[in-house]
Chains A and B, each alone.
Chain A
Amino acid sequence: GAVVSQHPSRVICKSGTSVKIECRSLDFQATTMFWYRQFPKQSLMLMATSNEGSKATYEQGVEKDKFLINHASLTLSTLTVTSAHPEDSSFYICSAGDGKGPQHFGDGTRLSIL
């Protein structure tokens, strides 16, 4: 089946650091990728939809200047958490799909801001 690779799997860094998370579709072209945030024992919250070659679409309440998304190719989308603070600590997950069928998820990135 389709494979989505997410890197890094875990990041621990100091407050004020910017952190980049990569999401790659390994065996298919993903014109659309999705970024989610998940708090412990809770569901996934969609943050933004990443469209190849165009600006990302952010969900209500998500700061686009805080969470920068770039989707420069059909196989790579990146999420950069700028000037991260402890409240940004969370589990971030990307997925890719065709908008009709199932989405294929990366393994997530555990972000811990000290």
Chain B
Amino acid sequence: SQQGEEDPQALSIQEGENATMNCSYKTSINNLQWYRQNSGRGLVHLILIRSNEREKHSGRLRVTLDTSKKSSSLLITASRAADTASYFCALMTTDSWGKLQFGAGTQVVVTP
């Protein structure tokens, strides 16, 4: 079952704009991870944020985590056409034994 809920389901932006997507969850987590999937391909890990962390950066990516609100956000700054993909949050819950539970994903389209 999906434990993470993402919004929006789809996002269409112009190159250079920022893209923000959110992930909400209901359980206790050890960490929350964000992945990217190009159409018809496997997933690529982007960022892992631990439950005791509030913000992490990686290049043009910024992830926040608010455990009191049980939510996380992924921000892509200065988007490029190559950022077009589906983005998934994945929860490693405290009782998951190493398994990840994926959200429904946000489909991002960046037009030149």
Contact = CB atoms under 8 A, between A and B. Distances in A.
Given A43-B2, A100-B98, A6 B42 contact: yes
Interface residues of B, number: 24
A44 B40 contact: no
Contacts, number: 57
Interface in B29-62: 30-31, 33, 35, 40-45, 48
A105 B105 CA distance: 16
Contact of A44 (B33, B45, B48, B88): B88
B44 A43 contact: no
Contacts of B44: 105
Contacts of B35: 105
A92 to B, nearest CB: 11
Contacts of A97: 98
Contact of B99 (A6, A42, A46, A93): A46
Interface string B3-38: 000000000000000000000000000110101000
B45 A107 contact: no
Given A43-B88, A43-B105, A44-B88, A103 B40 contact: no
Given A43-B88, A43-B105, A105 B43 contact: yes
Interface residues of A, number: 26
Interface of B: 2, 30-31, 33, 35, 40-45, 48, 88, 92, 97-105, 107
30 contacts: A4-B42, A6-B42, A32-B98, A42-B104, A43-B88, A43-B102, A43-B104, A43-B105, A44-B88, A46-B100, A46-B101, A49-B98, A49-B99, A91-B40, A93-B42, A95-B42, A98-B98, A99-B97, A100-B92, A100-B98, A101-B31, A102-B48, A103-B33, A103-B100, A105-B42, A105-B43, A106-B42, A108-B40, A108-B42, A110-B40
